[in-house]
Amino acid sequence: MIGFVQSLGASVLALSRMIGGIVLFTTIALRWVLVPPFYGRQIVRQMVDIGYYSLPVVGLTTLFSGMVLALQSYTGFARFSAEDTVATVVVLSITRELGPVLAGLMVAGRVGASIAAEIGTMRVTDQIDALDTLSTRPMQYLVGPRIIAGIVCLPILVLIGDIIGVFGGYLVGVYNLDFNASVYLSKTLEFLEFEDVFIGLVKAAIFGFIITLMGCYHGYYSGRGAEGVGKATTNAVVSASILILIANYTVTALFFG
Amino acid sequence: MSENKTQAVKIEISNLKKQFGNNQVLTGFNLSIRKGESLCLIGTSGCGKSVALKCLIGLVSADSGSIKVDGHETIGQSRAENEALLRRFGMTFQFGALFDSLPIWENVTFRLRQKEKLSKKIAREIAGDIINQLGLAPHVLDLFPAELSGGMQKRAAIARAIADKPEILLFDEPTSGLDPITSGVINDLILNSVNRLGATTLTISHDMASVRQIADTVAMIHQGQIIWCGPVADMHDTGIAEVDQFVNGKAYGPLTSNPPDTNVAQHSEMPV
Ligand SMILES: Nc1ncnc2c1ncn2[C@@H]1O[C@H](COP(=O)(O)OP(=O)(O)O)[C@@H](O)[C@H]1O
Ligand SMILES: [Mg+2]
């Protein structure tokens, strides 16, 4: 019993220490984002890494999600003769939920892991200390550009993913479920509001922040050796994914609650 | 040995203490280095040499004690003051710590290019000059660290450390893992660069041949303290068993080769 209470207490302490650490880390990182020197080249490089190279993953994920969504909602709505709502269901689900969440989770796996591995390796091989000795603040040089790139790139990725997902639904709707193409398109746009897309993009920016922050944080405080880097990578992906789901619920509840 | 030794004290470390968890690494570390002196720090693996070096430049914050550079206390100074202090140092790390994502010329001129805008052409020329002094061919400029051999990486790291002509140079095991000939070359490089820059130098080394070649003064660390410090010529008859064993590489004596590794506990922490 005492053992249980002790380990519970220890976990609570460790958790609060981690939350405190992350808040402090975030404050320092954001502070340095606002102060020169600005590492423009680093930001561009990270945008290419985080945004451009994530396009195939995000595109494929949303394409197939849009397709399966059209199939499934058709099956469901056909049972009470509401087949013509398929287009609306697809576009609303994609823009409000599936686009941002699926893109967020896929990018968390791809980018969160690689950021944690890269920064973690720099930590265990003393490259981060070397930055300090070479008149460069590691927080400013490594962390800032990644976080900026994450916040900027995720909404763009999600917007593209939204379009591809809706297109996936259209393909299935028109070629498989025999909807009339122009009717499907007009149904897609009929009930879509600016807010639906906008909320999705706001979520995406938050997810981009979460993913890059978790990658940087776990990499920066990586334990020693290859084992430490491996753990940092896993922790970055797991914590980013969980935080994305929590943030998604919170934002939805705040905006639509 | 360096020729520009004077009597003025450059670095004064007193009663420095540092522990990680329960692992007391430095337990009252005292060391004084004169301006222009080349001092070698020796000691068994894991005894805290690298930690002492990192404390000296504020990469690791000491628990207590005092570090004075040119008479100015550096412990407890502000971040800005520490950044200014770091600009006076050049350092190589035990495992090179070259930036993987940058070619050698960008590694070497990294600090110069933080200070002032240099065109790519000029930066490459400067880098070319420096690596040439260290005996590296010009084509190395465009290679990435992973494409270099261990010896070339060490030279590139030294090039990066001396590129901005710092007052104080710190070398963490510059010759470890190298063959004796490459070690000899690196020792010469260190001596040359030091004599040319007139820098004060602190080198960590296990390699007694290298110590004999580059040191004015030798200091041995054991159980977190300096147990002997004196001119390199005196290191063979100090009358201290640990120093004698280390300097002569004897398997039996007061020193054991495998210090207890207290870090294992670090890895079994619960993930949160
Ligand atoms: N960042 C750190 N966290 C925890 N322990 C550390 C850290 N850095 C060094 N140590 C421990 O401090 C001791 C001295 O390490 P170090 O100075 O690297 O030894 P060496 O004399 O071989 O350079 C070792 O026991 C090492 O495990
Ligand atoms: Mg060491």
Q: Is pLDDT of B267 > 50?
A: no
pTM over 0.90: no
Domain B1-88+199-272, what architecture?
3-Layer(aba) Sandwich (3.40)
pLDDT of residue A198: 93
Encode pLDDT of B119-164 as tens digits.
889 999 999 999 988 888 999 999 999 999 988 999 999 999 999 8
pLDDT value of position B258: 58
Q: Return per-residue pLDDT of chain A as tens, 257 residues.
A: 778 888 999 989 988 988 899 999 999 888 888 888 889 999 999 999 999 999 999 999 999 999 999 999 999 888 888 888 899 999 999 999 999 999 999 999 999 999 999 999 999 999 999 999 999 999 999 999 999 999 999 999 999 999 999 999 999 999 999 999 999 999 999 889 999 999 999 999 999 999 999 999 999 999 888 899 999 999 999 999 999 999 999 999 987 75
Which tokens go with A68? 């399966």
% of residues, chain B, pLDDT over 90: 56
Q: Characterize the bridge pairing of strands B64-69 and B225-231.
A: unpaired
Q: Is the peptide bond before A37 cis (omega within 30 degrees of 0)?
A: yes
Q: Which atom of ligand 1 is nearest to the CA of B261?
A: 25
Q: Look up the ipTM and state it.
A: 0.87
A113 contacts A54 by C-beta, under 8 angstroms:
no
Q: Which residues line ligand 1 (CB under 6 A)?
A: B 20, 23, 25, 43, 45-51, 262-263
* pLDDT, position B74: 92
In the A/B pair of chains, how many CB contacts fall below 8 A? 65
pLDDT tens-place string over residues B200-236: 999 999 888 899 999 999 999 999 999 999 999 998 8
User: Residue B93: nearest ligand to its CA?
Assistant: 2
Atom of ligand 1 nearest to the CA of B51: 17
**Of B237 and A197, more confident:** A197
Judged by CB atoms within 8 Å, which residues 19-48 of A form the interface with B?
37
- CB atoms B271 and A134 under 8 Å: no
Whole-number Å distance between alpha carbons of B227 and B33: 16
Q: Minimal Cα distance from B89: which residue of A?
A: A133
Mean pLDDT score of chain B: 87
Site to probe by mutation for ligand 1, drawn from B25, B29, B269 as the one with most ligand atoms within 8 Å of Cβ, is: B25
Confidence of residue B262 (pLDDT cuts 50, 70, 90): very low
Contact in structure between B245 and B228 (CB atoms under 8 Å): no
Interchain contact, B110 vs A136, CB within 8 Å: yes
Q: Give the nearest chain B residue to A133 (CA atoms).
A: B86
Whose tokens are 């001119």? That residue is B231
Residue B89 has pLDDT above 50, yes or no: yes
Q: How confident is the model at residue B264 (pLDDT cuts 50, 70, 90)?
A: very low
Phi, psi torsion values for B19, nearest 5 degrees: -130, 145
> In chain A, which among 207-236 make CB contacts under 8 A with chain B?
223-224, 227-228, 231, 234-235
- Cα(A107)–Cα(A59) distance, integer angstroms: 11
Q: What's B96's DSSP letter?
A: B
